[in-house]
Amino acid sequence: MLRAALVGATLMLVSTSANAVAPRTGPRLAAQHLTAMPAAGTRKPLRAAPEVRYATVASPAWKAFTAAAGGRWRAAYDRATGVPNRIWGSGIFVFGSVGSATIAESFARQWLAAHIDLVAPGSTPSDFELVSNHSDGEIRSLGFVQRSDGRLVVGGQLSFRFKRDRLVAIGSEALPEVKATAQRPRARITRAAIHMRATTALRRDLALPSAPVTAPGDEVVLPLVADDAVLGYRITRPLTIDGGVEGRYLAYADVATGEVLAVHQLNAYATGTLVYRGVDRYPGRPRIDIPAPRAAVTVDGAPQTTTPTGMLTWGSEAPVSVATAVVGDLIQVINKNDSEGILASALLTLAPNGTAVWDATSNPIEDAQLNVYLHANRVKDFVATHLDPELPLLGERMNANVNIGQECNAFFDGTSINFFQSSMKCENTGLVEDVIHHEFGHALHSAEIVRGVGSFDGAMSEGAADFLAASISNDSGMGRGFFYVDAPLRELDPADKEYRWPEDILEIHHTGMIYGGALWDLRKALIAAFGETEGVRIVQKIYIGTLRRSTSIPTSLIEALVEDDDDGNLDNGTPHECFIRDAYGRHGLRTASGNIVAPSPLVQQAKSTLVRIELSGLTDRCNGDEIESVTVDWRPSSTVEPAAGSAVATRATDDVYFVQLPLAIEGKIFYRARVKFADGSILTLADNLADPYYELYQGHTVPLYCTDFEDEDPFQEGWTTGTSNDQVASEWEWGEPGGGATDPPFAYSGTHILAQKLGGDYGKGITSWIKSPPIDVGRWTDVHLQYRRWLAVEDSHFDQARVTVNDKRAWLNYTANLGDSSATHHIDREWRYHDVALSGYSPTNVFTVGWDITTDQGLELGGWQLDDVCIVANINSVCGDGVKSPTEGCDEGVMNVDEPDRCRTYCLRPACGDSILDANEECDHGAGDATCSSTCQSLELPTLGGCCSANRGASGSLALATFVSALVLRRRRRG
C-alpha cells in the first residue's frame, strides 16, 4: 500500500541490528513532501528537496535588476524552476523600511512591478498577495503568496528582507509560467462528487478504511515538481484524511475527475522517551526529582495550578492533600494505552515547606506519562527563555499522546506530539528526554516560519529538531537510551566524518544531520571564540532566523548571513560570516562555483594544452573556502596515447588554476576538474551526471561547412525541420536565447542560436528534428561534426536525443539502464563542445547532419540548443590515396571502384544494402526491398491462385500488400 511507503517522516525506526535504525520509507520519499499518486501520470517522483545552485544566470532580467540596484549582487537558482531562489548583495537603501510596514510594502510592490520577470517568470505583480509584514525589531520580513487566476499556487511565494533600512535579500519560491487558465478543464464535477471519489481512493490507497475525510476546499493550482524540472500544473481541491497514529494526510483532488493527484503527510515522525520522578535523559541513568510546572491540581479539593517551579500555596499551616494528574496549562497528556484512556494520577500529602514526590517508576505506563509532561514543559520553557519568548505556540496548550500501541517511534502530527510504548528493541519513547525535545522541535520549526518567506522542509526540520534537543542537553549525541544503552541514536558531531551536501542526501533524518551538524559546528566555534554564554546566544539567534526564512537546507546558509548582518549590506560581510561559512562549508554548503577555460579543437599538433579552472563565489574575507587542491583527471577516447591519468593544477591566483593537459596525437581526450576544499568537500566540473567529462579534439582538419547562425536565417539557407506528426508544427526556432529553466541565457558566440523551442521545453509524445543542408564531403573519410550544444533531455530510457548522419544515429544521450527507474538525465549547464565522428554511417559522399528528440508523455526539458556548427575533415584520411586510415574499411587507390567484390569508391568494403550485387549475395537493391532479406538472400513471394485467383479484386491486393508489409517489418526487426 502507498501509505506504508509514505510514513517516512518517522523520527527513527529499528532494524534487525540492535544499534541501527532505518526509515519506514523508500529512499526518495519524505513525509513532509508531496508524493504523486498514479492518477497524476508522472513518470518520475516529485522532489524531496529543492536543489539550489549558486551560479548567477546573466539573463536580461538579471542585468536589468543589477543595473538598477547598483553594487554587487549574487543569486542562488532553483534547479527545477530556474527561478533565483535567493538574491543577496550590497543592499538597496529604503529609508524607514524597518520601522514602517507601509514603507516596506510600498517599496516591495514597486520592486516586484519592475522585476517580476526575474523572480516569477510568466506572472504579473497582481498575482502576489501580501500575507506577512513581520518585524522582530531588527529585520522586517515581507511575504507574498502566489496566485493564478485568483487560485492559490501551492508553495508559490515571494519574500523581502529589510535590515538597517536596506533591502538586503530577496527570496522566491514562485513557480514559473503558471497557466491555470489554459489548463482549465472543460467540465467540473461537484464538491460532493469530488469528496466521494477522493474519500474512496484515499481510504483504499492509504490503507485507512474508516478515516474521516474533510470536505474539499477552494480550488488551488498544484505544481508537480521533480528534482530537475516542473512537470506541470493541475487545478485541484485540497482535502485532509485523518488516520490518527496511522497517518494524517493533505490530499489534492482533480476538479474535473475527483482523482487524487498527490498527497502530503502531515505527521512529522521521530523516536524518543520521557519519565517522571523524572529521567535524566533516559531510565538507565539515576532518577532525578523535577518540579511539576503549571500542573492542574486540587489542594484539599480546591483547584489550583502550580507555578513554573512547582510551588503551591494554601491558607493553612497543616499538611494538605494534593490530587494531581498529567494535565496542565501548557501540556495535556493523553494515555493511549487502553480504550478508556485512563490518565496517571496520584493523591499525595504535602507538608508546609515540604516536598511531595510522585514516583511512578514502578509502573512504566504511568512513568511515561509523567516524563512526557515534565520534559514537554521543559522544552517550552527553554524556547521561551533562550530562543523566542514571543512565540504564540508557547502559551497554547499542546496535547501529548503517550503509550501508543506501537514500538520504536514518535511523531509530531501538526498539532500534537506522540510517543510509543516500549518493546524488546527500544525504550518507551515517552521515557527518552531527547525524543520529547526533538518532537517539539518540529512544532517550533512550523510555528517560526514566516508565511510567504520561508517554508517547511522535512530534512531541515529533522536537523533542526535534533539541534534543539542537543542544545538543551548540551550534548551532540541525540537520543541516548533509545536502545536501552548510552550510545546516541544520532550524532551531530561524529569524530570520523562530516555529513555533507549533496553526498549525504538520503532519507530525511540522515539528510537533516547536514543542517544540524553545521549548526553544532557553528555553536562550538562561537563558544571557543566568545565564551559559552555569548557563543550560544549568537548561534541561537541564527538558528531561529534560519527556521523563519529558509525553504531548504542550502538556503539556510544565506538566511544565516541575513540574520547575522548588522548594516543591511551583505556584500561587505557580517560580524560572524567566517564562522558561518566555515561551519557550513565543512558540510558541503558554500556559494562557490566554477568554469573551465580550454581550447576545444586543436589543428596544430601539440603534446599538451593549457586548461584553466576559474572559480567564482569564493569568499574573499574568510578562510572557509580555502582550496586544498585542484585535480584534473583525463582519459583518451581510445587505447592510444596518452594513458589515463591525473595531475594537480597549479595555482595562479586565489580563484584561478591551470594544468597542462596531455593530448592525443590525433583524436579526442576527455577530462574533468575536482576542486577539493580544505574541509574535505569537493566541487566537480563538468556538472552533468550524464556527460561528466569535457572533451578536446586534436587533429589537422579542413572545414567543409560552418555556420554560427548570426547573419542569415538557417531556414533560408537550406536547413529543414519537421515532426513525426504532420498536424504538429516543428518546435525548432532561430533567434536569441530565451533563458528557460534548462536553456542557455546567452548564445555561445554572437547573439543567435538554433534551438528547439527558444526559452521553453519540448513537447510530449513526438519526434522533432532539424537537418542541415546536404554537405558534399568529397573524398574525405574521417569527417567530424564539431559544434557547441546546450542540451537538456531525460534519461534516454524515456526521451532520446540523437545526432544523425543521413538519418542514421551517430550519437545518443546516456541511459542509466535501470528500466523505469532510470533517472540520469542529460542536463548541460553551460555551452559544451561536442565532437561526433560521422564517417562510416552511410555509403555516400553527401552527408546531411541532423539533431532530433523523441519524447514520451512524461517530463519535458529544454531540448537541443545549437551554436557554431562545423563539419570538418581530417586531412590525413583521404579515400583513394592507397593508404588505409583507421576510419576506412579499405583503400586500393586508383583501383577503388563501385563494382562487385571491390573496394568501393568511398573506401568501404562490400556490404549488403549498398545496391551492388557481390558474389555472396543473391540480391542487393538497397534498403527497403521486400524481395531481398537483410542478408541479401532472395525471398520468394507466395503464388496467389486457386478458385479466386482470377478475380481476387481489392481483397487480393490487400492480402499481397499485407504480406509484403510483414516481410518489411520482419527485415527491420532482424536488422
| Cα 724 to Cα 172: distance, rounded to the nearest angstrom | 38
pLDDT of residue 667: 82
What are 768-788's pLDDT values in tens digits? 999 999 999 988 888 999 999
User: 824 pLDDT band (50/70/90 cuts)?
Assistant: confident
Q: Can you tell me whether residue 837 is helix, strand or coil? A: strand
Strand order in the sheet with 656-662: 593-597, 608-616, 656-662, 650-653
pLDDT of residue 51: 83
User: Of 588, 507, 614, whose CA–CA distance to 270 is shortest?
Assistant: 507
Burial of 355 (0-12, 13-18, 19+ CB in 10 A): exposed
Burial of 503 (0-12, 13-18, 19+ CB in 10 A): exposed
What are 350-389's pLDDT values in tens digits? 888 888 899 999 999 999 999 999 999 999 999 999 999 9
| Cα 289 to Cα 274: distance, rounded to the nearest angstrom | 13
pLDDT higher for 182 or 74? 74
| Cα 688 to Cα 828: distance, rounded to the nearest angstrom | 6
User: Of 236, 56, 179, whose CA–CA distance to 761 is shortest?
Assistant: 179
User: 462 pLDDT band (50/70/90 cuts)?
Assistant: very high
pLDDT of residue 939: 83
Q: H or E element: which one contains 265?
A: strand 260-265
CB–CB of 400/372 below 8 Å?
Answer: yes
pLDDT of residue 640: 55
| Cα 828 to Cα 689: distance, rounded to the nearest angstrom | 9
What are 291-334's pLDDT values in tens digits? 999 999 888 888 888 888 888 777 777 888 888 899 999 999 99
pLDDT of residue 175: 96
Average pLDDT of the segment spanning 888-914: 86
pLDDT of residue 269: 60
User: Of 428, 396, 402, whose CA–CA distance to 326 is shortest?
Assistant: 402
DSSP-assigned beta bridge partners for residue 863: 792
| Cα 815 to Cα 825: distance, rounded to the nearest angstrom | 8
pLDDT of residue 818: 75
**Taking 50 as the threshold, does the pLDDT of residue 10 lie above it?**
no
pLDDT of residue 638: 66
pLDDT higher for 9 or 175? 175
| Cα 404 to Cα 387: distance, rounded to the nearest angstrom | 31
Give the helix, strand, coil percentages of the chain, each rounded to 5: 25, 30, 50
User: Of 219, 217, 221, whose CA–CA distance to 177 is shortest?
Assistant: 221
Q: Locate the DSSP E strands across 337-460.
A: 345-350, 398-407, 410-412, 417-421
Task: Tell me the pLDDT of the chain averaged across its residues.
Answer: 86
Q: How many CB atoms lie within 10 A of CB 930?
A: 17
User: 186 pLDDT band (50/70/90 cuts)?
Assistant: low
Burial of 617 (0-12, 13-18, 19+ CB in 10 A): middle
Q: What is the pTM of this model?
A: 0.69
| Cα 274 to Cα 481: distance, rounded to the nearest angstrom | 10
Handedness of CA 837, 869, 738, 715 (dihedral sign): negative
User: 969 pLDDT band (50/70/90 cuts)?
Assistant: very low
Q: Locate the DSSP E strands across 783-884.
A: 783-789, 792-793, 800-805, 808-812, 826-827, 832-837, 846-847, 849-854, 865-874
**Taking 70 as the threshold, does the pLDDT of residue 102 lie above it?**
yes
| Cα 54 to Cα 51: distance, rounded to the nearest angstrom | 10
Mean pLDDT lowest for which of 257-266, 475-484, 633-642, 655-664? 633-642
| Cα 495 to Cα 473: distance, rounded to the nearest angstrom | 19
Q: Which amino acid is at 814?
A: Y
Q: Which amino acid is at 842?
A: S
Q: Can you tell me whether residue 128 is helix, strand or coil? A: strand
| Cα 296 to Cα 326: distance, rounded to the nearest angstrom | 8
User: 972 pLDDT band (50/70/90 cuts)?
Assistant: very low
Q: Can you tell me whether residue 196 is helix, strand or coil? A: helix
| Cα 314 to Cα 734: distance, rounded to the nearest angstrom | 88
**Taking 80 as the threshold, does the pLDDT of residue 750 lie above it?**
yes
CB–CB of 734/747 below 8 Å?
Answer: no
pLDDT of residue 641: 58
CB–CB of 283/434 below 8 Å?
Answer: no
pLDDT of residue 574: 96
What are 706-741's pLDDT values in tens digits? 999 998 899 999 999 999 988 889 999 999 998 777
Crossing angle for the helix pair 458-473 and 433-448, to the nearest 10 degrees = 130
Place of cell 504579473: 124
* DSSP string for residues in 470-528: HHHHT-SEE-TTTTSSSS-SEESS-SS----TTTT--SHHHHHHHHHHHHHHHHHHHHH
**Taking 80 as the threshold, does the pLDDT of residue 466 lie above it?**
yes
User: Of 267, 473, 279, 482, whose CA–CA distance to 369 is shortest?
Assistant: 279
| Cα 692 to Cα 698: distance, rounded to the nearest angstrom | 20
Crossing angle for the helix pair 458-473 and 532-549, to the nearest 10 degrees = 160
pLDDT of residue 20: 25
Burial of 19 (0-12, 13-18, 19+ CB in 10 A): exposed
Percentage of the chain modeled with pLDDT above 70: 90
Average pLDDT of the segment spanning 521-525: 97
pLDDT of residue 743: 87
What are 658-679's pLDDT values in tens digits? 999 888 877 888 999 988 888 7
**Taking 60 as the threshold, does the pLDDT of residue 9 lie above it?**
no
CB neighbour list of residue 950: distance below 8 Å, 6 or more residues apart? none
| Cα 299 to Cα 318: distance, rounded to the nearest angstrom | 12
User: 573 pLDDT band (50/70/90 cuts)?
Assistant: very high
pLDDT of residue 429: 97
Q: Locate the DSSP E strands across 556-666.
A: 593-597, 601-602, 608-616, 627-636, 645-648, 650-653, 656-662
| Cα 145 to Cα 797: distance, rounded to the nearest angstrom | 37
Handedness of CA 185, 186, 190, 196 (dihedral sign): negative
pLDDT of residue 354: 87
What are 437-456's pLDDT values in tens digits? 999 999 999 999 999 899 88
Q: Which amino acid is at 37?
A: M
Q: Can you tell me whether residue 112 is helix, strand or coil? A: helix
